[in-house]
Amino acid sequence: MIDKPRVRRTVDLHLLPSAMTVLSICAGLTSFKFALDHKPIPAMALIAAAAILDALDGRVARILDAQSRMGAEIDSLADAVNFGVIPALVVYVTMLSEWPVGWAVVLLYAVCVVLRLARYNAQQDDGTLPPYAKEYFVGMPAPAGAVSMIGTIALKLQFGEGWWTSIWFLALWITGTSLLMVSALPMKKFHTLAVPPNLAAPLLALLAIIAAAAVLQPYILIWVIIISYVCHIPFALRSRRWLAKHPEVWEDNSKQRRAARRATRRAQPNRRSMARLGLRKPGRRL
């Protein structure tokens, strides 16, 4: 009797990205359940888990070559739920349910998330955008908005009651976050950044510090992330303006662009000094 060779069964991994997206939706909805049970810490943790799954599913889809129109639509709907509806409801239940104006501000936030995602999806089909546009978000991305929202809960858990839990501060903060998401301000996509080899070791050390802070002082870490992200906006705006004025470097890599910027600064050594003194170049009209 001749034994037939066993045929190995292949595992189809093309559904893995969509499965991760569905898991992120489940994490987001379960977060709201914990908020209703007055357990804000698990609620915040599940929103963070949804953000991690959202960051990974797209990369897994590209690695497995499993990108599809349906997967993109599921991902967009998941973002609207996890980073728009759920953070708004969690913050409302935890912080704002006693004030009538609280519902208005979280409603504004949820609507702005949906508008921001609709604009993002429309821009994916816009063939008129310059090549460097893919390196920037237009307005604050939805996951960053969700982190900004749960940051209000983190302040209460870390410091208790205070002016940071007042309706006026919360309304101002949530409204500002909502407007940033629908604004036209450029926000750098961090996965497009190239790390120079000489900074690899310091970056790994910084990641170790962040991992330790996530265990020891998670609420403080949330606000360090929020403040750092807001502070990067002027640099992203300046970088995008420089790229818009230098089309010759649009196809260059990060190292070549840095060299071009250094060459531009060396060609104009007195530019900053003239700007500080209010001077103009000869020949320019007053």
Q: Which CATH class is domain 15-189+215-247?
A: mainly alpha
84, two tokens: 């728009």
- Of residues 71, 67, 68, the one with CA closest to residue 21: 71
**Rounded distance, CA 272 to CA 125, Å?**
40
Q: In the predicted model, what is the mean pLDDT of residues 125-137?
A: 81
* R_g (Cα) of the chain, nearest Å: 23
Q: What is the pLDDT of residues 255-286, one digit of tens each?
A: 777 777 778 777 776 555 545 545 555 555 44
Domains of the chain by residue range = 15-189+215-247
Tokens 């499993």 locate to 66
Q: Is the pLDDT of residue 195 over 80?
A: no
Is the separation of the CB atoms in 174 and 108 below 8 Å? yes
Q: Is the pLDDT of residue 85 over 70?
A: yes
Element holding 187 (H helix, E strand)? strand 186-188
